[in-house]
Amino acid sequence: MRTSRISRDTSRILAASRTQRTLRQTRTAANITTRPELIESRASDDTENGENDVSGSELSSVPTESDSDDEVRKISRKRKRGQETPIVLKHEAQEVSIATIASPKKATKPKKARRTPAKKIKASDGSIKVEPPSNWQEIYALTREMRNETVAPVDTMGCESLADRTRTPRDQRFQTLVALMLSSQTKDTVTAVAMKGMQERMPGGFNLESVLALEPPALNAFINKVGFHNLKTKYIKQTAEILRDKWNSEIPDTIEGLTSLPGVGPKMAYLTLSAAWGRDEGIGVDVHVHRITNLWGWHKTQQPEQTRAALESWLPKDKWHDINNLLVGFGQTICLPVGRKCGNCKLADRGLCPSAVVAKNTKIKKEEATVKVEAPGGESIVHEQSLVAEVDDVKAEDVEGGMLDIEDIGKAPRVRTPRKAQ
């Protein structure tokens, strides 16, 4: 008996439908088997609905051999023999900010500190009064707190502490003056070694008479590690002769007398007067004091002498001696001439330093992997997400035009000549 084409197509559709129902029933039974607590409730539901009668149900029909062959051929068209279920991987990457991950609110950067320099105010009587920076006391206190937490070279090898305390007061004052003369453009560690060598090996001990008795080459051999040692040898010999002839073998006790000595400037004079004679008549401004106070925005000066005049116009006199040691040590440990450690500075953390720079710029890169699984019974998609931090360093020379070296403070900036193409 010949069957029509429509009848054959209808039979195939019914066979495929029965196969899919059988597969779903098998999966449901497997799930109930793995979860025993559902067996009893499912059985009762089937009894009420009459679905437990296998003999009268359409689902109990077993597919014929021809139907099974057709189904196998359909599945084989989707995948080759022996091939596992296909898996398609899709990778997507995008950048998001830290604020997006941490909080839905937009991140706000801390406001940069504004420069609040000292101001000159004219009083009603015509006199001019200098109003100090509004936040100077907080800045000073936090800087002192940071200095107390870390020992700087100036604390153990500063010129004020290098004199031999076993010598007479006159010899100690002379050694303090020589130490300050040697310290110009020289690290404290190098100055301390030179001073120790003269104290231990100079014939007759380290005093004015011994320096007068030494020949310039012998004196130069003691200090040949310090900067500009040849010029300093000349200055020390001349100073020793002036002290013997004009000051009765004693160092002067006035700023005018000290600055009259060769190689002694205002900074050395004020520091010598304070350390040797215990008199604070001015502020000893070296490169650290000049540089850091300008970074803080207390003033805008070009030379250390201008900085000294600006500070003395408003800084309380009881801070005149302390500020040099304070800022020298701060400049040696945290606020370095090159590569300032703003990340370790409490002033930058509290937004008090207008010159603070951000040490690092961090970006979070989100990488999302989409795993797409295609199977005969349907399709499932699994998302996997990972975060990768990318850190970019911000160099000091890239911010604010870079920083000058200690020896370059007060001088014209160096101009780099471009290299010729080879």
Residue 95, domain member (yes or no): no
Q: How many CB atoms lie within 10 A of CB 58?
A: 9
Are 59 and 195 contained in the same domain? no
Domain boundary among 326, 349, 372: 349
- Could you tell me the pLDDT band of residue 368, with boundaries at 50, 70 and 90? low
Based on the fold, state whether residues 192 and 273 are members of the same structural domain.
yes
Number of domains in the chain: 2
Q: What are phi and psi of 128, to 5 degrees?
A: -110, 125
Average pLDDT for 196-208: 95
Predicted confidence band of residue 126 (pLDDT cuts 50, 70, 90)? confident
- Which two three-digit tokens encode residue 17? 């439908």
**Is residue 251 located within the same domain as residue 188?**
yes
DSSP 217-270: HHHHHHSTTSTTHHHHHHHHHHHHHHHHHHSTTS--SSHHHHHTSTT--HHHHH
**72 or 295, greater pLDDT:** 295
Q: Answer yes or no: do 159 and 38 share one domain.
A: no
**Is residue 142's pLDDT more than 90?**
yes
Q: How confident is the model at residue 396 (pLDDT cuts 50, 70, 90)?
A: very low
pLDDT on residue 372? 53
Digit-coded pLDDT (tens) for 56-66: 444 444 445 45
What integer pLDDT is reported at residue 383 of this predicted model?
A: 52
pLDDT top residue among 62 and 205 = 205
Domain identity same for 178 and 49: no
The catalytic residue among 90, 267, 366, 395 is 267
In a domain, 360, yes or no: no
Q: What is the mean pLDDT of the chain?
A: 76
Residue 382 confidence (pLDDT):
55
Question: Has residue 382 been placed in a domain?
Answer: no
Inside any domain, residue 284: yes
Residues 76 and 152 in one domain: no
Task: Provide, rounded to the nearest whole percent, the portion of the chain with pLDDT above 90.
Answer: 52
HSE-CB at 108 with a 13 A cutoff on CA atoms is 3
Picking from 321, 349, 377, the residue at the C-terminal end of a domain is 349
- Answer yes or no: do 246 and 176 share one domain: yes
Distance between CA atoms of 33 and 22, rounded to whole angstroms? Answer: 17
pLDDT of residue 62: 46
Overall pTM > 0.85: no
- Band the pLDDT of 408: cuts 50, 70, 90: very low
| Residue 10: pLDDT band with limits 50, 70, 90 | confident
Residue 52: give the domain boundaries.
Answer: 5-83
Residue 232 lies in a domain: yes
- Please write the tens of the pLDDT for every residue from 290-332: 999 999 999 999 999 999 999 999 999 999 999 999 999 999 9
pLDDT above 80 (res 412) = no
**What does the pLDDT average to over 346-355?**
93
CATH number at residue 290: 1.10.340.30
Same domain, 229 and 334: yes
Q: Would residue 183 count as lying in a domain?
A: yes
Residues 322 and 216 in one domain: yes
Q: Determine whether 267 is an active site residue.
A: yes
Whole-number Å distance between alpha carbons of 239 and 261: 6
Co-location of 161 and 250 in the same domain? yes
Instruction: Please check whether residues 65 and 150 belong to one and the same domain.
Output: no
Distance CA 371, CA 354 (A): 50
